[in-house]
Structure 1
Amino acid sequence: MLGYIWQYVYTSFLRYWLKWLVRQVTGKCELQRICSGCKPGVTRTSKAEYSLRSSKSKVLRGAVDADKNKLEPCVDRIMEEKSIKPQKDPLFKENLHTCLLQITGYSSLFVSVEELRKEVFDSENHEHEVMLLKLWDLLMPNVKLESRITKQWGDIGFQGDDPKTDFRGMGMLGLINLVFFSDNYTEEARQVLSHANHPKLGYSYAIVGINLTEMAYSLMKSGALKPHFYNTVQGAPELKDFHQLYCYLAYEFDKFWVAEEPESIMHFNQYREKFHNIVKTHLQEPDVSLTLTVCSKN
């Protein structure tokens, strides 16, 4: 209870006066001090985001929801609002613009991710079908698919004779992630598939892959992936950056699963939660970068 009271008092009263006092001493507003004194990446951008969201100024609060393509005039309005002269702080505009690109870009990326998640796999859609068949060809280049609906799909970890039923939770996002990993890290994807087909330590490759898509989606929705994207993308993150994050999860989960040597796939949820906690712990590190270190084809 005392913690909540202190937080309320600090955010409502003390923070404003402390900011005012420090500005009188340094001659710089809080945003200037952040943009000049903090390391680029999550340290700078997270502090800038908090400062903007906590501001009493509508101009500053509105900046975090601005159109990522209209940020330059937004930065100009902030500089005017805070009486910041370009000649006295020449790097401020560029540094704040980068922070806003990352902040608004994260929100924009989530919208794109959500749209793909909501897009239902449609067997009548030629592009959807082509993508599904591409997944098979990438993972099983020497095995011909006998028909569109076949038990062979179980060889790459789908549950039934028709994979479309397995995409219900994550929609096209799940399939796109599977194909992206298999297309850009083909050797690694086939290696993971071979582990998934192990007689003792095996798991359902495609189903687990879709489950990891859900993990990535949930982490992004909660904002937990901000440190990763703020550290690894010097601007607005795009869909390919989300897919790259998925590749990291798919590859690292396989390494984790093999190292743990579970007794049975029946314990999957237990190990999935343990891996999830490991990822969340990494995301709290200031220099976090959940990047797959092997080389991609592109």
Structure 2
Amino acid sequence: MSVERTQGSCLAIRTLPPLSISRCSHSSVSLDNASCGSPTWMGKGLTCVCFKRKGTYERVYINLTPLQEERQRRLKHRMKVHFDASRPDHQEALRALWSATYPDQELHGLVSDQWKEMGWQGRDPSTDFRGAGFISLENLLFFAKTFSTSFQHLLNKQGGKQVAWGYPFAVAGVNITFMIMQMLDLDATKPRTFVRAVFLQMLSENEWTFDLLYCIAFVVMDKQWLERNATYMEFNDVLKSTRSQLEKELLMDDVLRIEDMPSYSLLC
């Protein structure tokens, strides 16, 4: 990503095409008028938003391609699907998660004390999906299948620093999904951060960007947890720190794809 000064106080931020992002600061814009601006800014696939930063308001313009719009729509749909224990496909996803996590152990039932081994709060994991929905189960399953070594390492702390305490693995995964959803703010009508703009560019390169970002977030969170010798009471602080690290990496000049993020190298 390169930054180029244009007329007046405007900065144009250029990324890989076809995503076009521009930024203009206007100290005279009031908060009440910060939703958008002149209708002349609007066009098909073009959105803009003003937000306050260091005493001024900045407008973010994102011109989405049809591909980006479609992939964003699909992701938003995934985010709105609630976990339904009565649906056969949701039941099958749970069984698949168990098989990917414990391939040598037979699951005795979708409600069983066995689930506590994975870090669910009780015998029925379906009760823990309320915050993030079915996509949080999809994220865990994606992690378990795509980066099985990292997944098992985090689950069992194999070869790493052993701790006498820790975080509930599966529940932590649900919280990470929810954190990323908040960070990207995809439910907002208009984008409010450059992080979302960068993510949408990455999404055009790889449809699985959200799931890959989830895997990165998990290993970053675990790394920070161990480095801090954190306790369960500090989980929210570690999660906030993880979000800050992700945002920092996403906004690096040389990060144009999800694989360019420095912490992607932690996955194996």
> In structure 2, do the counterparts of structure 1 residues 162 and 57 end up closer, same or farther at CA, with 3 Å as the change threshold?
closer
- Shift of residue 165 of structure 1? 0.5
Structure 2 CA distance for aligned equivalents of residues 154 and 198 of structure 1: 19
Residue 166 (structure 1) aligned with residue 147 (structure 2): no
Q: What is aligned with 2:146? A: 184
1:219 is paired with a residue whose SS is helix
- Shift of residue 128 of structure 1? 0.6
RMSD of the TM alignment (CA)? 3.6
Could you report, residue by residue, the CA deviation over 1:155-197 in whole angstroms, capped at 9, with x for unpaired residues?
Answer: 1111111110101111111111111111111121111111399
Q: Number of paired residues?
A: 225
Aligned pairs (5 A) from 1:110-129:
110-129=72-91
Counterpart of 2:172 (choices 205, 208, 211) is 208
Counterpart of 1:246 (choices 203, 210, 214) is 214
Counterpart of 1:227 (choices 186, 193, 198) is 198
The answer to whether the 8 A contact 1:170-1:213 is kept is yes
When Rg is computed on C-alpha atoms for both structures, the one with the higher figure is: 1
The answer to whether the 8 A contact 1:159-1:207 is kept is yes
Structure 1 CA distance for aligned equivalents of residues 24 and 140 of structure 2: 33
- Shift of residue 42 of structure 1? 8.6
Amino acid at match of 1:255: K
Q: What is aligned with 1:293? A: 265
- Shift of residue 56 of structure 1? 5.8
The answer to whether the 8 A contact 1:195-1:254 is kept is no
Question: What is the TM-score with the length of structure 1 in the denominator?
Answer: 0.64
More displaced 10-residue stretch of structure 1: 39-48 or 119-128: 39-48
2:136 is paired with a residue whose SS is helix
Counterpart of 1:64 (choices 40, 45, 66) is 45
- Shift of residue 146 of structure 1? 2.2
The answer to whether the 8 A contact 1:49-1:64 is kept is no
Q: Can you give the 5+ residue segments of structure 2 that lack an aligned partner in the other structure? A: 1-5, 26-34, 48-62, 186-191
Question: What is the TM-score with the length of structure 2 in the denominator?
Answer: 0.70
1:63 is paired with a residue whose SS is coil
Counterpart of 1:279 (choices 246, 260, 264) is 246
> In structure 2, do the counterparts of structure 1 residues 62 and 237 end up closer, same or farther at CA, with 3 Å as the change threshold?
farther
Greater percentage in strand? 2
- Shift of residue 115 of structure 1? 2.2
Greater percentage in helix? 1
Q: What is aligned with 2:51? A: none
1:215 is paired with a residue whose SS is helix
The answer to whether the 8 A contact 1:195-1:201 is kept is no
Counterpart of 1:45 (choices 20, 28, 31) is 20
1:148 is paired with a residue whose SS is coil
> In structure 2, do the counterparts of structure 1 residues 295 and 54 end up closer, same or farther at CA, with 3 Å as the change threshold?
same
The answer to whether the 8 A contact 1:248-1:290 is kept is no
> In structure 2, do the counterparts of structure 1 residues 252 and 62 end up closer, same or farther at CA, with 3 Å as the change threshold?
same
Q: What is aligned with 2:113? A: 151
